[in-house]
Amino acid sequence: MKKNGLQSALFPVSQALPNIWVCNYLVAAAYFVKANGRFPRKRNASNATINDFIFHRMIDNRWSLLQQLCVDKQYAKIFAARAADVNVARTIAVFSLEYNPSPEDFAAWISPHIGRRAVAKSTHGFGTTLFLDRNVTESDVYGLFVDANRNFFYAARETLYKSLERKILIEENVAATGDVNDYKFFCVKGNVIYCQVDVDRFVNHKRALFAVPEFKMLSVKMGLLENPDQLQRPAQFKEMVRVASDLSRDFDFVRIDLYAVDGRIYFGGYSFTPGAACDHFSDENFAIEFQRIVGSLLRNRATDGALA
């Protein structure tokens, strides 16, 4: 996980502070202000945005056991395969970091897998991903080891990550050739609201938001990324919406990440605090309306199915 200047300054401070609301607020608010240009608003304010909603939920530390399990990439795949008709990448091996192994131990463990069509990444947060069939150097392996040894809670105070076991997962690379698009569905209790699509993540990363179910690109931008010029609706989009709906039924608010590869839909992950409230929306009114929709659906938990 490459750190910017703010992260480099705040990470050691964050490590020294306990997991309580006021400390979580102070650290997370620094990132929020940098990304959004203002301090967080109260979640029930009339002008609260979706980022205000995400900010308060991520520092409150009120998570169910199921939510905690589903941000562990190893266990998330098990639950997803049972909750919906979706493919999951096969787990090849798991390396625990909980017993303070050395970099040499990890290098010896991963060595037989280098050259395979597989990826290695931490199970307990975001960060480095190694494509093992590419040119993997000793420095790359060491970088993943160091990155995965971190507790990702201290990065931006996403409390859901605080107590996760630190592990490195090797799983099959399901992409037939090169990179695949990420389809990220924002959902509330089985209701699919919007779809975020990330393209060329490792080359020329672009991102766009789409209306569901018509797959119409919206003019709003997220973060500093530009919208792609155009993006064709995937043949499986209707089925992806259904899968996202099924995978999100047990959760109040969640982003479901999916991939479409060779006509098959693959599960990518669950995110309960997407972007750590730092994916700034170019249209403030859109972000407020996004929060209004989420709040309305949360107040009406009997609502079921995907939004038309």
What pLDDT does residue 236 have?
94
**Judgement on whether residues 106 and 166 belong to the same structural domain of the protein:** yes
What pLDDT does residue 250 have?
96
**CATH code of residue 80:** 3.30.470.20
**Judgement on whether residues 105 and 74 belong to the same structural domain of the protein:** no
Number of H helices, E strands in the chain: 10, 10
What pLDDT does residue 117 have?
94
Q: Is residue 199 part of a domain?
A: yes
Which residues in 12-159 belong to E strands, given as ranges? 91-96, 118-122, 129-131
**Judgement on whether residues 83 and 191 belong to the same structural domain of the protein:** yes
**Judgement on whether residues 78 and 96 belong to the same structural domain of the protein:** no
**Distance (Å, rounded) from C-alpha 139 to C-alpha 187?**
39
**Judgement on whether residues 200 and 75 belong to the same structural domain of the protein:** yes
**Judgement on whether residues 82 and 114 belong to the same structural domain of the protein:** no
- Which residue range(s) make up the domain with 108? 91-172
What pLDDT does residue 300 have?
84
- The pTM (predicted TM-score) of the whole model is 0.93
**Judgement on whether residues 76 and 124 belong to the same structural domain of the protein:** no
Encoded tokens for 269? 């992950």
Is residue 87 within 8 Å of residue 99, measured between CB atoms? no
**Judgement on whether residues 97 and 120 belong to the same structural domain of the protein:** yes
**Judgement on whether residues 201 and 254 belong to the same structural domain of the protein:** yes
Encoded tokens for 261? 């590869």
82-100 per-position pLDDT tens digit: 999 999 999 999 999 999 9
**Judgement on whether residues 242 and 188 belong to the same structural domain of the protein:** yes
35-45 per-position pLDDT tens digit: 999 999 999 99
Q: What is the DSSP string of 245-280?
A: HHHHTT-SSEEEEEEEETTEEEEEEEESSGGGG---
What pLDDT does residue 6 have?
82
Q: Where are the alpha helices (DSSP H) in 164-234?
A: none
Q: Is residue 146 part of a domain?
A: yes
Q: Which of 60, 43, 202 is nearest to 131 (CA)?
A: 202
Residues (pLDDT < 70) of the chain are 1-4, 176-179, 202, 301-308
Is residue 152 within 8 Å of residue 124, measured between CB atoms? yes
Q: Is residue 236 part of a domain?
A: yes
